[in-house]
């Protein structure tokens, strides 16, 4: 998000950040570390399900259908066992965010264990001068992009730009 929004802001109508990792360092709480490391050390369906239930979703309000959840768990176990991940990891961008001038909307789940909402809001207010709105969804975890109400909100905002 940040490179295009900084280098070519005229090409971006708005940025929507969903529980972004760029607003703070990864949470080092014992609960979060355990939830994240367990499936890496022992990639089983049970451990991946525990990670999803602890760190990503906030059941019963925020989750996936049973079929979608099983497919996600199967994929995660496969990826943890076979995939050599070389992707860039989220990092706290701090002062880099000061250069973002496009309208920015922050969507958060109040049950996000990986990047707690209160710290993200505080840092967004400091570093995102173009922050237009912050929306916090109750009983929603880190996987906010799977939460129907968040997608409805996104659609309404996008339609309002026309």
The per-residue pLDDT for range 22-45, each reduced to its tens digit, is 898 888 899 989 999 999 999 999
Cα 90 to Cα 84: distance, rounded to the nearest angstrom: 17
Cα 117 to Cα 136: distance, rounded to the nearest angstrom: 8
pLDDT attached to residue 2:
60
Confidence grade of residue 84 (pLDDT, cut at 50, 70, 90): confident
Q: Is 135 exposed, middle or buried (0-12, 13-18, 19+ CB in 10 A)?
A: middle
Edge-to-edge strand list for the sheet holding 14-18: 14-18, 103-109, 131-137
**Long-range contacts: 116-121, Cβ < 8 Å, 24+?**
116/24, 116/27, 117/19, 119/23, 119/24, 120/19, 120/20, 120/23, 120/24
Residues 6+ apart with CB under 8 A from 108: 18, 19, 117, 120, 121, 134, 135, 136, 137, 140, 144
Q: What is the pTM of this model?
A: 0.82
């Amino acid at each position: 998000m940040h490179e295009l929004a900084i280098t070519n802001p005229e090409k971006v109508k708005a940025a929507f950040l969903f529980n972004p990792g760029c607003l703070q360092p990864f949470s080092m709480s014992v609960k979060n570390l355990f939830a994240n490391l367990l499936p890496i050390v022992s990639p089983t369906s049970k451990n991946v399900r525990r990670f999803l239930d602890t760190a990503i979703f906030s059941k019963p309000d925020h989750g996936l259908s049973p079929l979608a959840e099983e497919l996600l768990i199967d994929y995660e176990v496969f990826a943890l066992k076979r995939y050599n991940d070389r992707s860039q990891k989220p990092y706290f961008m701090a002062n880099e965010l000061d250069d973002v001038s496009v309208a920015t909307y922050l969507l958060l789940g109040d049950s996000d264990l990986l990047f707690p909402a209160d710290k993200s809001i505080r840092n967004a207010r400091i570093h995102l001068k173009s922050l237009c709105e912050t929306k916090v969804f109750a009983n929603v975890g880190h996987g906010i992009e799977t939460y129907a109400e968040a997608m409805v909100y996104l659609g309404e905002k996008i339609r309002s730009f026309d």
